[in-house]
Chains A and B, each alone.
Chain A
Amino acid sequence: MIPDGTRVPKPPQPIPERILPSHLAPQSLSVVVFGPGHGEAIVVVLPDGTVGVVDGCREPTVLDPVREFLEELSREPGRQGQPLRLGFVCMTHPHEDHYRGLGRLLEAFRGRVERVWRTPDVGDRYVRSWLQFLKHTQKDRRLTPEPDDVEGLARIMAEMRLATQEHGAKFLQLQHRMQLMEGVMEGHPIRILGCGPASRDLDTAQITLLGVLKGLKRGRKPGHFDPNAASGALLIEWGQARVLLAGDLLCRKGSFQGWEEVCDDIPGPVQVIKAAHHASLGAHHDALWTRLQPTLAIVTPFLHAKGRQPPRPKQITRLSRDSVVAITSEPRWRRASTHPRPVFGTSRMRRGADPQVTTGGFANNAMSQVPTGGEADARNAVAVSLDATGKLLRFVLAGRADVYEPSAGTYGTP
């Protein structure tokens, strides 16, 4: 339970099924993190009403929670029924759990996007190389259907090009030390700053990727390339309020410097952090975390945290020592008394509670797998609003989002 003494307001109960614009505080810096259990999409509402989208986790089939939220937002009284414009659209890195929904969103907002931010060289060398890799490893295979992520990424690139070349959207590189936006809102200075990737990591990514493609061409086992190594990250600053959207940026690994290269340029304290790379151990920079002293950490699970996928219980326990930890979707950890516990929901993963849920509807549980698409968890989200002093005004959980606390009961028992 979130104690009265913490700086995080108690979320409204009963937990709503989805986030509505009315859940956000007016004239505040608000962030809505959607995390259906595989990747993330983030909607940012700035104090003057400017709306931005960072990443898009799912190719919408029937339900697109981001579009749904934006449509609700356009019907808000202050907007006079005008079609909503997006102040910025940002792709932190070309990984399918972060880009899948962006293409459709850009299509829907064609001509209504003011800024496009993405990793440098995305439209040119880096992502075109990655697209080639996807094309030759995932497409045109016999026996299995063609996945839609190759077309998804190609669609985003085409729409981003269209937005900048035909509709006058401003293109900026998402990169360490890049000032993406600045101004004054509600009497306080606001700026959005790129906190990653470091330019050195981008060069390394391109070189590694070319090596992988050459290996593939020669029929050898290609080396490993992880697009997370060159992920972007954003810092949003309004007065004393700071929100860090950390993308999937990792710590130092091999030739990649990751957080090591950029952490000194991130000013603290930061009240809200969307934890990097689903709060995996490899993305947690302990010194940076200690310095930033986040009040609230928002975590989006990868593959519902099944098997060994992040977040792991140990890491959530670690984060919740210093911060209130909100997870957008219920992690499907194996049951253990030492695991962090959800504060507001009852765990559906209790053995015997529902065999259909524990196996995900599959014949057995021998493989860590989650169905793709679907709507059941699509609206899972965490929303937070801050004022210019950095005070958290609103904190809302939706769907199966929950606050997790260590089993020792740091915040008391529910």
Chain B
Amino acid sequence: MECSEFISRFRHRPLRHQPRPLRPLGLGTRLDIRPMRFAVGLERPIHWERLADARSAPSRVAFYLGRVKEVDEREVLALVWEYPSGRESLASLLVRVDFKGEPPVPGSLLRIWTWVELPGRGARRQRRKVEVEPLRLSEAAQEELDSFLASLEAEEPERSEDDP
């Protein structure tokens, strides 16, 4: 199997740092993990049946909640939290592929399923499915924005000390 083949391969890795960085022994790989900020997936079922459109056996399945941070013409940058650990990471998604050409509003909630398909002959396909819950501002937030925009019109711009 392809999997056992690469695990058994001997790792030739020359020493890069000397002296070795102070790292705890016994942990082969140290990951950047921010302490859990919240538990993902408590508010409603994860709906693993969303993977029903997998074309072959889904494996290594993962689920994330996400929040859209930035959107440009081609890409969406989102802060995502892994189920169930709440581990946080930044992810980039594609407008064309993940959102079918309709970029989401910043602040929208994302539900993301990712998995690997093994169609055979050693091939591995990384797949993902994204659901968007659009951002909706409350009335209070709209009013706050209103008053902010009105206040800007009445203000003088800030000047630096050397400004003529």
Q: Give the distance to chain B from A241, nearest Cβ to Cβ, in Å.
A: 25
Would you call A366 and B128 a contact (CB within 8 A)?
yes
Partner-binding segment picked from A2-10, A131-139, A262-270: A131-139
> Total A-B residue pairs with C-beta atoms closer than 8 Å?
206
Whether A129 touches B30, Cβ cut-off 8 Å, given contacts A136-B145, A171-B161, A363-B114, is: no
Q: B158–A123 contact, CB under 8 A?
A: yes
Residues of B within 8 A of A370 (CB): 32, 89-90
A287-307, CB < 8 A from B: 303, 306-307
Binds B, one of A79-87, A106-114, A140-148: A140-148
- Chain A residue contacts of B21, Cβ below 8 A: 17
**Cβ-defined contact, A374 with B16, below 8 A:** no
Instruction: Tell me whether B157 is interfacial, beta carbon within 8 Å.
Output: yes
Q: Which 10 A-B pairs have the closest CB atoms?
A: A374-B32, A352-B6, A137-B107, A124-B158, A366-B114, A369-B91, A363-B62, A366-B126, A173-B160, A373-B34
Number of B interface residues at 8 Å Cβ cutoff, please give it: 81
Give every chain B residue within 8 A of A128 (Cβ-Cβ): 148, 152
Among the stretches A220-228, A316-324, A381-389, the one at the interface with B is A220-228
Residues on the B chain within 8 Å of A364, using CB: 60-62, 114-116, 126
Residue from A124, A306, A354, A362 within 8 A of B82 (CB atoms)? A362
Are the C-beta atoms of B88 and A124 separated by less than 8 Å?
no
Which of B9, B90, B126, B136 interacts with A303 by CB under 8 Å? B90
B15 contacts chain A at the CB level, 8 A cutoff:
yes
With CB as the reference atom, state the residue of chain A lying closest to B133: A143
Residue from A356, A367, A371 whose CB has the most chain B CB atoms within 10 Å: A367
Contact of A132 among B30, B90, B148 (CB under 8 A): B148
Q: B residues within 8 Å of A by Cβ?
A: 5-7, 9, 11, 13-18, 21, 28-34, 37-38, 43, 60-62, 64-75, 77, 79-82, 87-94, 103, 105-107, 109, 112, 114-116, 126-128, 135-137, 141-142, 144-146, 148-149, 152, 155, 157-163
- Chain A residues proximal to chain B, CB less than 8 Å: 14-17, 38, 61, 120-125, 128-129, 132-133, 136-138, 140-141, 143-145, 147, 170-173, 178, 210, 213-214, 216-217, 219, 221-222, 224, 226, 303, 306-309, 344-346, 348, 351-357, 360-377
B28 engages A356 (CB within 8 Å):
yes
Q: Across the interface, do A144 and B67 meet the contact criterion of CB distance under 8 Å?
A: yes
Identify whether the interface residues of A are mostly helix, strand, loop, or mixed: loop
* A137 pairs with B60, CB closer than 8 A: no
Cβ–Cβ contact B107 & A136, under 8 A: yes
Please give, as numbers and ranges, the residues of chain A lying within 8 Å of B5 by CB-CB distance: 352
A138 to chain B, nearest CB (A): 6
A362, closest chain B residue (CB): B62
**Which residues from chain B contact A371 at a C-beta distance below 8 Å?**
31-34, 87-89
Q: Using Cβ atoms and an 8 Å threshold, which residues of chain A touch B70?
A: 226
> Which of A132, A140, A351, A366 contacts B116 (CB under 8 A)?
A366
| Chain B: CB-nearest residue to A136 | B141
Contact at B33–A137, with CB atoms within 8 Å?
no
Cβ contacts under 8 Å, A308 to chain B: 74-75, 92, 94
Asked if A377 contacts B32 (CB within 8 A), the reply is yes
With A15-B16, A367-B93, A367-B128 already in contact, the answer to whether A125 and B161 are too (CB < 8 A) is no
Q: How far is the CB of B20 from chain A (nearest CB, A)?
A: 9
Nearest neighbor of A180 in chain B, beta-carbon distance = B162
- Selected A-B contacts with CB under 8 Å, 13 pairs: A120-B157, A129-B152, A136-B137, A136-B144, A141-B109, A213-B149, A217-B137, A303-B92, A346-B14, A363-B61, A372-B89, A374-B31, A376-B31
Q: Are B81 and A210 touching (Cβ within 8 A)?
A: no
Residues A120 and B128 in contact in the complex (CB < 8 Å), given A346-B13, A374-B32: no
Contact of A145 (CB < 8 Å), options: B13, B38, B75, B149: B38
Residues of B with C-beta under 8 A to A346: 13-14, 16
Give the CA-CA distance A382 to B72 in the complex, in Å.
Answer: 30
Which one of A14, A123, A353, A365 lies within 8 Å of B11 (CB-CB)? A353
